[in-house]
A and B are shown apart, each in its own frame.
Chain A
Amino acid sequence: MGNLIEVRNLQTQFFTQDGIVHAVNGINYDVAEGETVAIVGESGSGKSVGVMSLIRLIPEPPGKIVNGEVNFDGQDLLQLNEEELRQIRGNRIAMIFQDPMTSLNPVLTIGRQITEALELHLNMNREESRARAIELLELVGIPDAGARLDDYPHQFSGGMRQRVMIAMGLSCNPQLLIADEPTTALDVTIQAQIVDLVTRLQSELGMAIIWITHDLGVVAGLADRVLVMYAGFIVEEGPVDVIYGQPRHPYTLGLLRSIPRLDLGRQKRLIPIEGLPPDLLDPPQSCPFAPRCPFVIDKCLEENPPLMSIDAVRKSACWVDLSDVEIYDTSADEQVEAVA
């Protein structure tokens, strides 16, 4: 399958009173048609700024995309004018945000918010767009969709609002759906509904998805490929099963180790990642993970490792070879039966 989108050397900064925030520091990746790519990393690591830059939703000023190319279906999105971009946004590339309450307009009915996009992008008339809106709400599992069309967002629960956002995102049959932590504000049972819904819709409609999250568990069931971000860099990239089976960056390893797992014997003690992420106002020249890294060597302090290929499918930005490190040190685990 061909690449739908190719991101090259993307670099975005914010010029603030306190100085330059180095939010995204030259990242490279591709997303193939129909593929699901997850971007994981902790808050502030540049996940949102990274994807908002793709469709130029960065507030300018203070933000600025200072470098890079975003090739989408043969054109560089960063070179398009506002009008050309509008044709792509919400149409061929759709976006769903974390908090559906702030991204839905509180004074417009649910129905109106969906039909508006349809009328704008697909030139539908009132009746057509209304019929299609009902279809879309039914598709995302809103019961009694015809009647709920005239409700306002506050009359819907959090999970229903997120489903409306997905319906809106899908309304124009996008080729790429960007979902920025769409389930973070939701409960696990509702999250399971949404993940189930999106994977089902994807197999029916065939769009590619970029799914941003900080939850490694959600990624495992959803993504084909994973990008791990830290301090504005992609530090590891690869197919989901390979990354989870044998992480090759100490940060990925640290994340997997620090979360308790429901399916494993109870770990006696969690292994946290000590310390804090670096200040992006004053990023170090060294490897950004060095102050927290248990594997650090001298070279790490001298030179920030680029994202390097390890094999045909995966990349890691680290000077040290982790291929022999076990994720879960089972000897330290207290076995479940010992607790009785």
Chain B
Amino acid sequence: MTTQNTESAGVSTAQDSNQSDVLLNVQNLKMHFPITRGIILQRQVGSIKAVDGITFELMRGETLGLVGESGCGKSTTGRAILQLYEPTAGEVIFEGQDLTEINSGELRRMRRRMQMIFQDPYASLNPRMTVGSIVGEPLEVHKIGGSRREQQQRVQELLEIVGLNPYFINRYPHEFSGGQRQRIGVARALAVNPSFIVCDEPISALDVSIQAQVINLLEDLQSEMGLTYLFIAHDLSVVRHISDRIAVMYLGKIVELADREELYENPLHPYTQALLSAVPIPDPEIEKKRQRIILEGDVPSPAEPPTGCNFNTRCPQVMEICHQYEPSFADVGDGHRVACFLYDEVESLDESGQPVSHTA
């Protein structure tokens, strides 16, 4: 979000002038993992449809929140975009180039522009490396650090940017708290001057009192450097705070995407509505009066998603058509997109179960 960035920091970055640019364009992205049986002769007996055809755009300088329940495919989406997995299908057009098409040399060059911050600050840092070598490693990999001295200087600069004492450069990860480790992860991601960062639940493993520190840091860095974020989280309150637009995922698909306030004030998809109603609010007065939508049952396995609308096994408003057809991800106005027959112009079904006036 740009209004906030420019007014709070008062800095004008190169990105300001072309903020409406599309930085990333994801088209019908699929990531299926094979399920194999047999020890010697592995045969594929099915596939886990972790990400199953998602489409969205990300503007330069924007933060897109990606929310959904555990296992719905958020991390896989992030990884498939960065080509840490080889996508099963679809296009990932980043700064005008389709990453799924380019050769490995080109991809390596593009990697500098895209980084990832991980969910678990404990597991994602190599315990045997010093902070200096962890943060400096990307410089080395991409051979952009210059001399040893210059590299060291750059690392100290980075530590300062993320609010760590540059003097910590020779310490090891275990000497830091969770919040500090997450800062180290951020410094490492920033080392190569990326324009795009996938933040995969960067605060979920942190204590409440520390979470706000890291959120503020990410916001400051964005306004200073014009970064673009894909911010993955399951905490809807945090996502609302940090995002410009929000995409809601369920079982490998994006079911709704809208501007932040539009999504919270006017959620259309029954899953989004249930998700929002489930978020506890730290106010007893409100909580006592709230009517929750309690969803029945569990998320189906992504190896055998239901046919038709994949939410039909839990949807409180399920209709007959939802079992037979899959709703399209349609724009209902002002870029608010939703995949649900409640908003599709389907009047009724004829005797054979065919929709009568389906606007495909």
Beta-carbon contacts under 8 Å, B247-273 to A = 260-261, 264
Q: Is the CB of B237 within 8 A of A189?
A: no
Instruction: Report if A262-B212 is in contact (Cβ < 8 Å); known contacts: A160-B298, A187-B70, A189-B275.
Output: no
Interface check B207, CB cutoff 8 A: yes
Chain A residues closer than 8 Å to B299, beta-carbon distance:
157
Interface check B287, CB cutoff 8 A: yes
Q: Is the CB of A187 within 8 A of B234?
A: yes
Q: Is the CB of B294 within 8 A of A192?
A: yes
A223-261 interface code vs B (CB 8 A; 1 in, 0 out): 000000000000000001100100000000011101111
Chain B residues closer than 8 Å to A262, beta-carbon distance:
236-237, 240, 264, 276, 279, 281
A142-163 interface code vs B (CB 8 A; 1 in, 0 out): 0100000000000001111000
Q: Is the CB of B236 within 8 A of A259?
A: no
Q: Is the CB of A220 within 8 A of B284?
A: yes
Size range of the interface on B? Answer: 35 or more
Chain B residues closer than 8 Å to A241, beta-carbon distance:
284-285
Candidates B212, B278, B282; contact of A244 at CB < 8 Å: B282
Instruction: Report if A221-B284 is in contact (Cβ < 8 Å); known contacts: A187-B69, A267-B241, A268-B8.
Output: yes
| Interface-lining segment among B146-154, B213-221, B349-357 | B213-221
Instruction: Report if A276-B177 is in contact (Cβ < 8 Å); known contacts: A189-B69, A221-B290, A270-B216.
Output: yes
Q: Is the CB of A42 within 8 A of B216?
A: no
Interface check A92, CB cutoff 8 A: no
A192-216 interface code vs B (CB 8 A; 1 in, 0 out): 1101100000000000000000111
In the complex, the chain B residue whose C-beta lies closest to that of A213 is B280
Q: Is the CB of A336 within 8 A of B209?
A: no
Q: Is the CB of B4 within 8 A of A334?
A: yes
Q: Is the CB of B216 within 8 A of A269?
A: yes
B233-248 interface code vs A (CB 8 A; 1 in, 0 out): 0101110110000000
In the complex, the chain A residue whose C-beta lies closest to that of B242 is A260
Instruction: Report if A221-B280 is in contact (Cβ < 8 Å); known contacts: A266-B241, A269-B216.
Output: yes
In the complex, the chain B residue whose C-beta lies closest to that of A216 is B282
Interface check B40, CB cutoff 8 A: no
B157-175 interface code vs A (CB 8 A; 1 in, 0 out): 0000000000000000000
Q: Is the CB of A215 within 8 A of B212?
A: no
Interface check A306, CB cutoff 8 A: no
Q: Is the CB of A193 within 8 A of B212?
A: no
Interface check B210, CB cutoff 8 A: yes
Q: Is the CB of B282 within 8 A of A254?
A: no
Q: Is the CB of B215 within 8 A of A220?
A: no
Instruction: Report if A217-B216 is in contact (Cβ < 8 Å); known contacts: A189-B275, A260-B240, A339-B3.
Output: no
* Cα A268 to Cα B8 with chains together (Å): 9
Chain B residues closer than 8 Å to A336, beta-carbon distance:
261
Interface check B288, CB cutoff 8 A: yes
Beta-carbon contacts under 8 Å, B297-333 to A = 297-299
Candidates B216, B238, B283; contact of A220 at CB < 8 Å: B283
Interface check B92, CB cutoff 8 A: no
* Cα A249 to Cα B277 with chains together (Å): 30
Interface check B274, CB cutoff 8 A: yes
What's the nearest-Cβ distance from chain B to residue A153, in Å?
A: 15
Q: Is the CB of A188 within 8 A of B275?
A: yes
B194-213 interface code vs A (CB 8 A; 1 in, 0 out): 00000000000001111111
In the complex, the chain B residue whose C-beta lies closest to that of A292 is B209
Chain B residues closer than 8 Å to A42, beta-carbon distance:
207-210
Q: Is the CB of B208 within 8 A of A255?
A: yes
Instruction: Report if A189-B295 is in contact (Cβ < 8 Å); known contacts: A244-B284, A272-B216.
Output: yes
Instruction: Report if A221-B287 is in contact (Cβ < 8 Å); known contacts: A189-B295, A191-B278, A260-B237.
Output: yes
Chain A residues closer than 8 Å to B212, beta-carbon distance:
258-259, 270-273
A-side interface residues toward B, CB under 8 Å? 42-43, 143, 157-160, 187-193, 195-196, 214-221, 240-241, 244, 254-256, 258-263, 266-274, 276-277, 334, 336, 338-339
Known contacts A217-B279, A260-B238; 6 additional CB pairs below 8 A are: A42-B207, A157-B298, A188-B275, A263-B281, A263-B283, A276-B179
Task: Show 22 residue pairs from A and B whose CB-CB distance is below 8 angstroms, ordered by the A residue.
Answer: A188-B234, A189-B278, A196-B292, A196-B294, A217-B279, A220-B284, A221-B284, A221-B288, A240-B284, A255-B209, A258-B211, A258-B212, A260-B238, A262-B240, A262-B281, A269-B8, A269-B216, A272-B213, A272-B216, A273-B209, A276-B210, A339-B1
Ranked nearest first, the 8 interchain pairs of A and B with the lowest CB-CB distance are: A217-B280, A221-B287, A272-B212, A260-B241, A270-B212, A192-B278, A258-B212, A187-B69
